[in-house]
């Protein structure tokens, strides 16, 4: 029935704490500019021609108290395409700055993200709803404020996939196409093409970034810096108590801890963010701004999917923990004027390195099915890295297969051991005699180490399979879903969404999606390399 049908959307409670509590840009028209002494500018999404629903996340709708029935409704599509506003919405774009590729870039801001408002659900939890690709804002600089379907599919699917992998992340409620075309020069080679436009509705308690604090600090606007930090603590870190110098330090420590947890999880599942600029670092320790990210297929700590970063490889897989610390250092500098003591900030930053190491070791022990990480396990881990680099070895498949190696049976031939791992190798026939010996020598050391723990094969496999996913959003899978979506066929987007709800489970009927990257995808754009153009 129509009336009850639309109820849940119409009865969302918009609290808009961010807008109510923080200084607004007094200028209300939508031209590009430097915005001083303000955290945001009010700006409406631009209407789009013919929005169509591609997919939505059932659980995110649940968090927001939006009923299943309402999710497919016309009102839902119009609202999350930016064509209609619900009562209580107060759309705005955030003002922030950032360090991009190691250099201070000044004001950036939400150039193509528009926050519709902040709701409080029936449990009292707050969520900001943000449209990405909804048109120009005062922060659009030289760009159009739009997003294309391919990058929107990637953001929608990956944020949901990461959540189910147990990685802290912003969520995605919906993905719609706009019915409009967007010009993009995908490889910055002077050959722009028209692509279908799309909008993702992202959801998180807050979209504040390190760069939000850096910008006030860089401008010497300490009053507003303090307002923003106090607001952040009061609303997002209330357990820390009333803001004070001491609480600022505790807060910074917690941001460091959350960031370390997030990076450890990225390293666990083989995720490469691709653009860890400080404007893409969430103050809540959430993975945010899915751009040219990628998943390690063959294990390679030097790999980055981002063509814009191909020479320096600043944001390569193995460098992410150090980059996070560098970014935290920028945040420390930004909040220094509120604390005016370098020593405690330095101590917390140093502690990040030690605490990251500890968290990383605990993660490694779990990945290998060990009860805990002992000092001797350092060599075992280091040598595993060499073994993984002998020949192209699929990281995700390797750890699942490693769980199948029996450590209870003592009489296995080298061939039996290698057979178990066979699927993890991109070119198993290319393994030399020497390679095979090294792999087996490592496996036998590993078996011995597991035997010290006296863990049964069954229990170890269970433990390992709960942290080593069977299914990740392989770059080529996302691309196949995009190819279909661009032909108006959204079945694969929805199929991957369902698959990635249970990334640790064997799903025999979906086995094909666990396969390693096929050869056609090795050098295909979108599968092995991506640019920032999206
Ligand atoms: P990113 O590194 O992709 O997160 O983007 C860096 C900055 O560029 C942010 O301020 C974005 O809002 C802005 N930006 C990226 N793409 C666009 C676009 N198509 N239109 C306007 N601003 C954009
Ligand atoms: Mg960004």
pLDDT, mean of each 10-residue run, the chain (534 residues): 64 97 96 98 98 98 96 96 98 98 98 98 97 98 97 98 98 98 89 96 98 98 98 98 98 98 98 98 98 96 93 96 98 98 98 97 98 96 97 98 96 96 96 98 98 98 98 97 98 98 98 95 87 84
Residue 57: which of 76, 74, 44 has the closest Cα? 76
Clarify whether residues 357 and 409 are in a common domain: no
Note the ligand closest to the C-alpha atom of 97: 1
Pairing mode of beta strands 171-184, 40-42: unpaired
* Ligand 1 pocket, residue 38 CB under 6 Å: no
Closest protein CA for atom 11 of ligand 1: 111
Q: Is residue 472 part of a domain?
A: no
Clarify whether residues 338 and 423 are in a common domain: no
Rg, the chain, Cα only: 24
Note the ligand closest to the C-alpha atom of 145: 1
CA of 134 to the centre of ligand 2 (A): 15
User: From CA 167, how far away is CA 276, in angstroms rounded?
Assistant: 16
* Ligand 1 pocket, residue 143 CB under 6 Å: yes
> Both tokens of residue 222?
């300490």
CA of 96 to the centre of ligand 2 (A): 10
Q: Is residue 461 part of a domain?
A: no
Q: Is residue 223 part of a domain?
A: no
Clarify whether residues 358 and 386 are in a common domain: no
User: From CA 502, how far away is CA 447, in angstroms rounded?
Assistant: 29
Please list, in sequence order, all residues whose beta carbon lies within 8 angstroms of the beta carbon of residue 529, skipping any fewer than 6 positions away.
305, 306, 307, 310, 523
Note the ligand closest to the C-alpha atom of 279: 2
Strand spans (E) along 407-489:
none
CA of 281 to the centre of ligand 2 (A): 8
* Ligand 1 pocket, residue 27 CB under 6 Å: no
Place of tokens 């700006």: 43
Pairing mode of beta strands 52-56, 171-184: antiparallel
User: From CA 215, how far away is CA 391, in angstroms rounded?
Assistant: 45
Closest protein CA for atom 12 of ligand 1: 111
Q: How many domains does the chain have?
A: 3
Residue 86: which of 186, 13, 171 has the closest Cα? 13
* Ligand 1 pocket, residue 146 CB under 6 Å: yes
Q: For 153-200, what is each residue's pLDDT tens digit?
A: 999 999 999 999 999 999 999 999 999 999 998 888 889 999 999 999
What angle, rounded to 10 degrees, do the helices at 210-218 and 222-236 form? 160
Note the ligand closest to the C-alpha atom of 112: 1
Q: What is the pTM of this model?
A: 0.97
Residue 224: which of 17, 16, 15, 21 has the closest Cα? 21
* Ligand 1 pocket, residue 46 CB under 6 Å: no
* Ligand 1 pocket, residue 140 CB under 6 Å: yes
* Ligand 1 pocket, residue 309 CB under 6 Å: no
Clarify whether residues 252 and 391 are in a common domain: no
**Of the candidates 433, 454, 475, which is a domain's last residue?**
454
Clarify whether residues 431 and 347 are in a common domain: no
φ, ψ dihedrals at 362, nearest 5°: -60, -40
* Ligand 1 pocket, residue 332 CB under 6 Å: no
Do the beta carbons of residue 529 and residue 290 sit within 8 Å? no
Q: Is residue 427 part of a domain?
A: yes
CA of 100 to the centre of ligand 1 (A): 12
**Of the candidates 420, 438, 454, which is a domain's last residue?**
454
Q: Which atom of ligand 1 is nearest to the CA of 144?
A: 20
User: From CA 184, how far away is CA 271, in angstroms rounded?
Assistant: 26
| 117: β partners | 129
Burial 409-429 (b: 16+ CB within 10 A, else e): eeebeeeebbebbeebbbebe
Clarify whether residues 351 and 383 are in a common domain: no
Check residue 341 and report its DSSP letter. -
Q: Which atom of ligand 1 is nearest to the CA of 147?
A: 19
Clarify whether residues 363 and 384 are in a common domain: no
Closest protein CA for atom 14 of ligand 1: 111
Clarify whether residues 255 and 172 are in a common domain: no
Note the ligand closest to the C-alpha atom of 100: 1
Clarify whether residues 197 and 328 are in a common domain: no
Q: Is residue 237 part of a domain?
A: no
Q: Is residue 491 part of a domain?
A: no
* Ligand 1 pocket, residue 108 CB under 6 Å: yes
Q: For 279-327, what is each residue's pLDDT tens digit?
A: 999 999 999 999 999 999 999 999 999 999 989 999 999 999 999 999 9
User: From CA 456, how far away is CA 427, in angstroms rounded?
Assistant: 31
CA of 269 to the centre of ligand 2 (A): 22
Quote the pLDDT of residue 101: 97
Catalytic residues: 279
What angle, rounded to 10 degrees, do the helices at 245-269 and 320-339 form? 170
User: From CA 282, how far away is CA 255, in angstroms rounded?
Assistant: 9
User: From CA 245, how far away is CA 251, in angstroms rounded?
Assistant: 10
CA of 113 to the centre of ligand 1 (A): 8
Clarify whether residues 197 and 257 are in a common domain: no
Q: Is the dihedral of CA 397, 399, 403, 406 positive or negative?
A: positive
- Range of 412's domain? 377-454
> How far apart, in Å, are the Cα atoms of 75 and each of 44, 86, 307?
17, 9, 39
**Of the candidates 348, 367, 386, which is a domain's last residue?**
367
Closest protein CA for atom 23 of ligand 1: 111
Q: Which atom of ligand 1 is nearest to the CA of 532?
A: 3
Q: Is residue 500 part of a domain?
A: no
Q: Is residue 498 part of a domain?
A: no
Clarify whether residues 24 and 89 are in a common domain: yes
* Ligand 1 pocket, residue 144 CB under 6 Å: yes
CA of 44 to the centre of ligand 1 (A): 17
* Ligand 1 pocket, residue 291 CB under 6 Å: yes
Please list, in sequence order, all residues whose beta carbon lies within 8 angstroms of the beta carbon of residue 236, skipping any fewer than 6 positions away.
205, 206, 208, 283, 284
Q: Which of 46, 100, 134, 143 to mutate to test the pocket of ligand 1 (most atoms within 8 A of CB)?
A: 143
Quote the pLDDT of residue 381: 97
Clarify whether residues 354 and 391 are in a common domain: no
Quote the pLDDT of residue 4: 46
């Amino acid at each position: 029935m129509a009336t009850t049908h639309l109820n849940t959307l119409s009865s969302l409670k918009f609290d808009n704490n961010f807008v109510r509590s923080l200084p607004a840009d007094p200028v209300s028209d939508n031209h590009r500019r430097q915005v001083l002494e303000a955290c945001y500018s009010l700006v409406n999404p631009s209407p789009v021609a013919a929005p169509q629903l591609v997919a939505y996340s059932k659980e995110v709708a649940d968090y927001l108290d939006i009923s299943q029935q309402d999710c497919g409704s016309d009102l839902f599509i119009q609202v999350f395409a930016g064509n209609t506003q619900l009562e209580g919405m107060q759309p705005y774009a955030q003002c922030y700055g950032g360090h991009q590729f190691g250099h201070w870039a000044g004001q950036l801001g939400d150039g193509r993200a528009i926050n519709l408002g902040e709701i409080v659900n029936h449990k009292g939890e707050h969520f900001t709803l943000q449209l990405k690709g909804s048109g120009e804002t005062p922060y659009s600089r030289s760009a159009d404020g739009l997003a294309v379907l391919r990058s929107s599919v990637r953001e929608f699917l990956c944020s949901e996939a990461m959540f189910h992998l147990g990685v802290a992340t912003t969520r995605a409620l919906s993905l719609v196409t706009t019915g409009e075309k967007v010009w993009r020069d995908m490889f910055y080679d002077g050959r722009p093409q028209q692509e279908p436009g799309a909008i993702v509705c992202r959801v998180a308690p807050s979209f504040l970034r390190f760069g939000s604090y850096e910008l006030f600090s860089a401008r010497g606007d300490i009053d507003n810096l303090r307002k923003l930090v106090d607001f952040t603590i009061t609303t997002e870190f209330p357990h820390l108590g009333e803001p004070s110098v001491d609480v600022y330090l505790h807060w910074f420590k917690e941001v460091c801890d959350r960031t370390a947890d997030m990076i450890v999880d990225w390293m666990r599942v083989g995720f490469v963010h691709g653009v860890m600029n400080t404007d893409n670092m969430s103050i809540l320790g959430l993975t945010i701004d899915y751009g040219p990210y990628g998943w390690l297929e063959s294990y390679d700590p030097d790999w980055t999917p981002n063509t814009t970063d191909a020479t320096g490889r600043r944001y390569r897989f193995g460098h992410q923990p150090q980059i996070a610390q560098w970014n935290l250092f920028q945040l420390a500098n930004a909040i220094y004027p509120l604390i005016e003591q370098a020593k405690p900030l330095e101590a917390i930053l140093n502690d990040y390195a030690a605490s990251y190491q500890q968290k990383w070791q605990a993660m490694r022990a779990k990945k290998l099915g060990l009860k805990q990480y002992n000092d001797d396990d350092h060599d075992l881990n280091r040598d595993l890295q060499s073994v993984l680099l002998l020949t192209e070895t699929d990281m995700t498949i390797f750890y699942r297969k490693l769980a199948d190696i029996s450590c209870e049976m003592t009489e296995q031939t080298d061939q039996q051991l290698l057979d178990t791992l066979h699927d993890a190798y991109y070119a198993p026939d290319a393994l030399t005699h020497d390679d095979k010996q090294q792999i087996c020598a490592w496996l036998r050391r590993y078996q011995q180490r597991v035997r010290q723990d006296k863990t049964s094969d069954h229990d170890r496999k269970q433990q390992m399979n709960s942290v080593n996913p069977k299914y990740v959003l392989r770059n080529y899978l996302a691309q196949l879903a995009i190819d279909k979506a661009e032909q108006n066929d959204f079945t694969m987007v929805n199929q991957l969404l369902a698959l990635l709800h249970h990334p640790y489970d064997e799903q025999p009927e979906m086995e094909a999606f666990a396969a390693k990257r096929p050869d056609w995808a090795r050098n295909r754009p979108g599968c092995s390399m991506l640019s920032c153009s999206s």
